[in-house]
Amino acid sequence: MKQLHKQSSIRRDEELPSSQKSPYSPKAFKPRSLPRSINYLFREQRLLFILVGVLIGSTFFILQPTLSRLGTADPSPTNRATIPRSYDQRRLDSAVYQSRSSAKLVGRVPVAIGRRRLRIVVTGGAGFVGSHLVDKIIDRGDEVIVIDNFFTGRKDNLVHQFSNPRFELIRHDVVEPILLEVDQIYHLACPASPVHYKYNPVKTIKTNVMGTLNMLGLAKRVGAKFLLTSTSEVYGDPLEHPQKETYWGNVNPIGERSCYDEGKRTAETLAMDYHRGAGVEVRIARIFNTYGPRMCLDDGRVVSNFVAQAIRKLPLTVYGDGKQTRSFQYVSDLVEGLVALMEGEHVGPFNLGNPGEFTMLELAEVVKETIDSSAAIEFRPNTADDPHKRKPDISKAKELLNWEPKVSLREGLPVMVSDFRNRILNEDEGKGL
């Protein structure tokens, strides 16, 4: 039977004409006259749906601004008259109208957005001048990071800021590097009184050199503005009177005070080298004698010495013949000058001081009048390298910074005396800590 079936199938194949035989192909042939993507678009009217979608989307984006203006338009005067509105609603309408009117002039600015809040570092911010500067910056609405190793600074100077969310305190020595993201750096870190900077002269000059290098490096990395608080001591025992910023000074490079004098001169050099070589935006202030509340009680500077001695019923110690002169500025005037310098466009250096000149004997008499007229004066041998005259020429600061001191010695001294009296009479004070 199998042989019969095979033979019949062979005969049927032979009987089919050759023209009717389908050629062998593993895959049926499909003509490709169009690319697959175009073929896909035309199949099942997909192109039509795409065109309709594009048309609807275009219509929406064209009409949307018009619809939004119509939806937020203020009601006409007739409508406002017919719709009863409360007092608060009328005030809100007026505020919205004023904001829109101003937006047409200055562009669309979100309401209640002022200048960007700055993050500012103050090295030595727990000290006398630094703490007053911190208060000024906080009061204007910026953030402050204080860096201090508390060698001469005191936490008591900043305790009133501890609960402020825009205040931060870091115990750190600027001789070691620190990484922060900030906009401005006020570099005040360094002992400023002879008693303190002579205590460890090597540490003093390291603070002036290495500390300034580290802070300038930080300013370079983050693009911050940098202000160096230098000193009138860079003029040494001056041969020019009053002293201008162009005067190069008369400093003993190997004397007892040179750790401070030459340290500050080197700090100015570093600041200018970073400015010229690395493009750091620097400011240099040369600070003259400053007084006010929060000074250390026994820091060896003449004003604090006289005030503390008079309150304690001790003789006022005058070194030398008492004819050497100083110029005394109140701390608030100095802070205003530092801020004006930082916010200005001029590098400096700038003298920041009060050109009012007093001899040591004249200062002693003013202190006696303010505290105790019966106080005695005691003369002692003068200290080494003590400048005989010191008076700033502040014409440059007047012209370029629009700054000059406003508080006289007789106005500012009673405020300092009140602060000293409260601290000296307190059981925990009187140690200069």
| CB proximity list for 188: less than 8 A, separation 6 or greater | 122, 123, 124, 125, 127, 129, 130, 133, 229
What's the one-letter identity of residue 218?
L
Distance CA(411)–CA(123), nearest Å, equals 29
Do the Cβ atoms of 190 and 124 come closer than 8 Å? Answer: yes
Do the Cβ atoms of 387 and 238 come closer than 8 Å? Answer: yes
Spot the catalytic one: 235, 260, 291, 330: 260
Three-state SS sequence of the chain: CHHHHHHHHHHHHHHCCHHHCCCCCCCCCCCCCCCHHHHHHHHHHHHHHHHHHHHHHHHHHHHHHHHHHHHHCCCCHHHHHHCCCCHHHHHHHHHHHHHHHHHHHHCCCCCCCCCCCCEEEEECCCCHHHHHHHHHHHHCCCEEEEEECCCCCCHHHCHHHCCCCCEEEEECCCCCCCCCCCCEEEECCCCCCHHHHCCCHHHHHHHHHHHHHHHHHHHHHHCCEEEEEEEHHHHECCCCCCECCCCCCECCCCCCCHHHHHHHHHHHHHHHHHHHHHCCCEEEEEECCEECCCCCCCCCCHHHHHHHHHHCCCCEEEECCCCCEEECEEHHHHHHHHHHHHHCCCCCCEEECCCCEEEHHHHHHHHHHHCCCCCCEEEECCCCCCCCCCCECCHHHHHHCCCCCCCCHHHHHHHHHHHHHHHHHCCCCCCCC
Query: Is 260 known to be catalytic?
Result: yes
Question: Would you please indicate which residues are annotated as catalytic (active-site) residues?
Answer: 260
